[in-house]
Each structure stands twice: as structure tokens, then as C-alpha cells.
Amino acid sequence: MASASRRDLLAGLGALGAGLVVRSAHAAFPKDVQTSPGTFTSPVPPAGDPRAVDEGGYIAAERPARTTWTVSNAHILVGDGTVVRGGVRVEGGRIAALGPGVTGGDDLGGATVFPGFFDGGSSIGLVEIDLEAGTHDEAESSDGVVPAARVVDAYNPASALIPVARRQGVLGGLVLPSGGLVSGTAAWMCFAEATVEGATWDAAAGVVIQMGRGGTGGLPNQPKSRMGVALKLRELLDAHKLPEPPDPKAKKKKGEPEKPEELTRTQQVWRAVRERKRKVILGVDRADDILTAIALAREYGLDAVLLGAAEGHRVARDIAASKFPVLLAPTSTQPSGWDTLQASYANAARLEREGVPLVFRAGGPHNLRELPTEACLAVAYGLPHEAAVRAACGHNAAKVWSGLPFGTLAVDRPATLAVADGDPLQPRTRVLRAWIGGSELSLRSRQTTLLERFRTLR
């Protein structure tokens, strides 16, 4: 409820419109406006707290990380949809034991332990400020077809956006190039390392291809219509055929060394795509574009992932039959543009019901902390809570990209996890602590520094 001073102020406002309150040009300002205790709390550890390792948010390199520890008295979301009570014991950065038998260590007082959140696709690390052209590295616009352009060569692990995501428990994500028809090679990145090398979980997570209107545009070699998108992609795939199997009848001259095939970087990427050694991530939203993408991927035997799929619910059975997973941003499924006129809040639930593997994404790089909110909204519209956890907390992502070291809390798995003060999907819930590979992370960011600086006006 409004405080007394606030009520007075509001009463003053009510008079406006009837008559103007003329103020002096030099109105006396209150000396200080303290935040009143009881109305403002923050989960951020204050400076000096051992959890506040440093301002930049990285684990200080010179500080040996404690990778053997125990937390107990928690509600544990394992990540695969199951829930257990008890604790987690970590030894050497890996989970040594988990469940009701684990006691001692830090008593979490019934808080929730979960694997953290892992975002299924954004430009974080490639963009700092949308309207500052000098901070953009997500689109290699010299050509419309740049499959060998790698986001790991642009990713900035010191981006101020990363600790902001991490503070709400988003511990890693798929980083996507954009623009053109074939945008480049995506990477799975960890949000807690000071170097690109250290932060890279998978430098070659897939070649991003924009379909539908998204693939058209004015760059060199970029098509201008959907017809052109499909034609150009088929031409590119035709031009990078798999090598002919060696002819057993052909006589091999003795002593003549085999000529190694010389491929350019771009040819190597296409070869890997044709050999199903590299995924393709196909950006599609309109229902017929989804079907085109599925048909094209099948025609060439590609290992595909769909990105977007706002109208996926209209062709959910076709997507399920393709076995292609979907990187889905539920709230972007709005009828806001011509490619998403049939978008629906029920999209995630419909796709899940047909058996489509889902990985949630938040969308814009500044608010990856919206990932749990996206998952929660899907729950509101019928997605089972455990399915939302699998899609937001890395379990499904680590199945699609096998080998990713997160998403399930189990013995011998890396101790990558977070603690929240309630259901981690709920918008009121706060994330209190987080670890990657057993090392506790700082939850400080540029934003918490600003908060501390202006908590009291001086």
C-alpha cells in the first residue's frame, strides 16, 4: 500500500487537469531519499560477501575455485522432469551423490535446486547495444552465403549482457549468427568464462540458414523471394555433393600417393553438412515454410533443427514425423507479422503433445533472463511443467546436441546447477546461487553495481 508521503503526493496529482500547480524554478529537493526498509529487498549478495567474487562477474582466475561441497534440504528439479528432495554432494566439480541421503553442508532451507537455464538461441556476446552499429557483430553482411563465418570468432565473453543473464540463472546458450540466407556457424557458449576458448561448449553447433522471407534480401548472392530461397539452397547443396565412393574396379597404380582432396573452408562446412556431421538450423515461422524446410532437409538427408516455428502448431504432426527438434520462443509467437499470422499461445503445448523435442529461447540478447517466463507462459497454456523444465533447463538441448555438459542432475554429471527461492519458472522467483562445473559463480553484474551505487542517494 502507498506510504503516507506517497498518498500526499498522489492527492496532489489528482488536482491536476483542474488547475496547474506552478512550481518554483528552483524547487527545494529533499536532501536524500532513503529506500525504506521493508519495501525493498534484493537477492544480490552485498559487496564483501564471499559470493561476490568480482565486479566483472567472472570467477577470479587467481582464486582457486572450491569444487567439493554439499548443499542439503532442497527441492531438486533433476532436469529430466523428475523431482527429488534432499541434497547434492559435489566432489571435484562433479555430482557425487544426490537425493534424500545427502545431508550437511549448506542448508538451503527448502529452496529449489535446478540445472540452471540454457537458452536456445540469441545474439548474446555478438551485440552490446541494438542502436549502436559499432557494437554489432552478428551479421556478416559481405555476402548472403557465409556458412564458414563462425560466431566464436566474434563472441565477446566480457559483454555486460552475460552477467545480467547469469544473475537470473541463465548459465549458457546457443549463440546464433543472423542475416543473409546462410548466416554462419552457431556455437553453444558457457556464460561464466573470461576467454572464448574457456567459454566454448560447441564451436560448430550448426549452420544457420534463414528460410521464408527471412532468407530474402539485398546482400550479394541473396535471393529475393521464397522461390529463390529454395532454389539457391538446392543449388548450394547440389554443388557440394558427397564424394563418389572409390571405384573398386579402378586400377590403382603402384606407388602413386593418394591425392588428398583440397577443400576451402566453405566447402568443408558444406561437406560436413552433407555428411550429417554438422547440423543445419533452419529459421522458419510460416506453416508452409516449415513444410518446405522439412522437405528440403529430407531431400538432402540433413540433420536439421527448426528455429522459430511460430505456426508450428498447424503442422505439428509433420514436424513430429520429421523428428526435427524446435528452438521455440513462445511469446514471439504473436500475429505481429506476415509470417506469423497464425501464431498461437498454445504452440508449445501442441508441439509437445505430438512429441516434438522443444528447446526454449528468450529472444533478444538483453533479456535472456526472460527464458523462465517464456517457459511459464507455455505452462499456462497447457504444457506440462516437467516438459517446460526439460525445454528451458537444458535437458532437451543436451539431447539434441549430445555431449553438452548440462541439463540433468545425476551422479557423475558436472555440477552445473542453480538455486532459486521457489519454482524457477515463476516470474516472482529469484535465483540465489549458481555453479558451473562445481565452481560457484558471482551473480554480480554491471546492473548490481549500479544498484549498489544508487541504493542511497548521496
Q: Which is nearer to another protein, 237 or 371 (CB)?
A: 371
CB of 299 to another protein, least distance (A): 31
Instruction: Give the nearest distance from C-beta 101 to another protein in angstroms.
Output: 32
Cβ 335 to another protein shortest distance, Å: 6
The C-alpha atoms of residue 284 and residue 310 are separated, in whole angstroms, by: 8
- For residue 318, what is the enclosing H or E element? helix 316-322
Please list, residue by residue across 77-108, b when 16 or more beta carbons sit within 10 angstroms of its beta carbon and e when fewer do.
Answer: bbbbeeebebbbbbeebbbeebeeebeeebeb
Q: Is 133 in the site for another protein (CB under 8 A)?
A: no
| C-alpha distance from residue 155 to each of 159, 182, 186 (Å) | 9, 19, 11
Which range of residues in 4-12, 226-234, 264-272, 396-404 is near another protein by CB under 8 A? 4-12
Q: Classify 424 as helix, strand or coil.
A: coil
Contact 167, 202 (CB under 8 A): no
Candidate list 83, 334, 355, 411; residue touching another protein; CB under 8 A: 334
Distance (Å, whole) CA 64 – CA 9: 52
391 contacts: CB under 8 Å, gap ≥ 6: 328, 348, 352, 358, 359, 360, 375, 378, 383
Tell the smallest beta-carbon distance from residue 248 to another protein (Å): 58
Q: How far is CA 229 from CA 60, 283, 289, 397, 452, in A?
A: 47, 12, 10, 28, 51
Residues 357-416 within binding reach of another protein (CB under 8 A): 364, 366-367, 369-370, 373, 376-377, 379-381
Stretch that binds another protein, among 210-218, 226-234, 315-323, 343-351 (CB under 8 A): 343-351
One character per residue 20-39, x = contact with another protein (rule: CB under 8 A): xxxxxxxxxxx-xx-xx--x
Question: From the list 10, 60, 231, 410, which residue makes contact with another protein (rule: CB under 8 A)?
Answer: 10
Length of the chain: 458
Residues of span 77-96 touching another protein by CB under 8 A: none
* Amino acid in the structure at residue 139: A
Please identify, among the stretches 2-10, 45-53, 177-185, 204-212, the one whose residues bind another protein according to the rule CB under 8 A. 2-10
Which residues is 305 bridged to in the sheet? Answer: 281
Segment 424-453, which members bind another protein (CB under 8 A)?
Answer: 425-430, 447-448, 450-451
Answer yes or no whether residue 134 interacts with another protein by CB under 8 A.
Answer: no
Is the Cβ of residue 66 or residue 317 nearer to another protein in the bound state?
317
Give the pairing of strands 417-420 and 112-114: antiparallel
Q: What is the CA radius of gyration of the chain?
A: 25
Interface residues for another protein in 273-332 (CB under 8 A)?
A: 313, 331
Number of chain positions touching another protein (CB under 8 A): 78
Closest approach of Cβ 46 to another protein, in Å? 14
Q: Which of 231, 336, 355, 410 binds another protein (CB under 8 A)?
A: 336
59 versus 351: smaller Cβ distance to another protein:
351
At 78, give phi and psi (nearest 5°): -65, -30
Report the residue from 54, 130, 153, 275 that binds another protein according to the rule CB under 8 A. Answer: 130
Distance in Å, CB of 380 to another protein, minimum: 4
| Contacts of residue 219, Cβ cutoff 8 Å, sequence gap at least 6 | 141, 142, 143, 144, 179, 180, 181
In angstroms, give the least distance from the CB of 86 to another protein: 26
Min separation Cβ 388 and another protein, Å? 10
Could you give the string, one character per residue 136-165, with x where binding to another protein holds by CB under 8 A and - elsewhere?
------------------------xx--x-
- What are the DSSP calls for 240-273, one per residue? TPPPPPP-TTSPPPTTPPPPPPP--HHHHHHHHH
CA 378 and chain centroid, separation: 16
CA dist 371 and 115 (Å) reads 14
Distance in Å, CB of 12 to another protein, minimum: 5
Q: Which is nearer to another protein, 199 or 310 (CB)?
A: 310
User: Considering beta carbons, is residue 166 or 430 the nearer one to another protein?
Assistant: 430
Write the DSSP symbol of residue 314: G
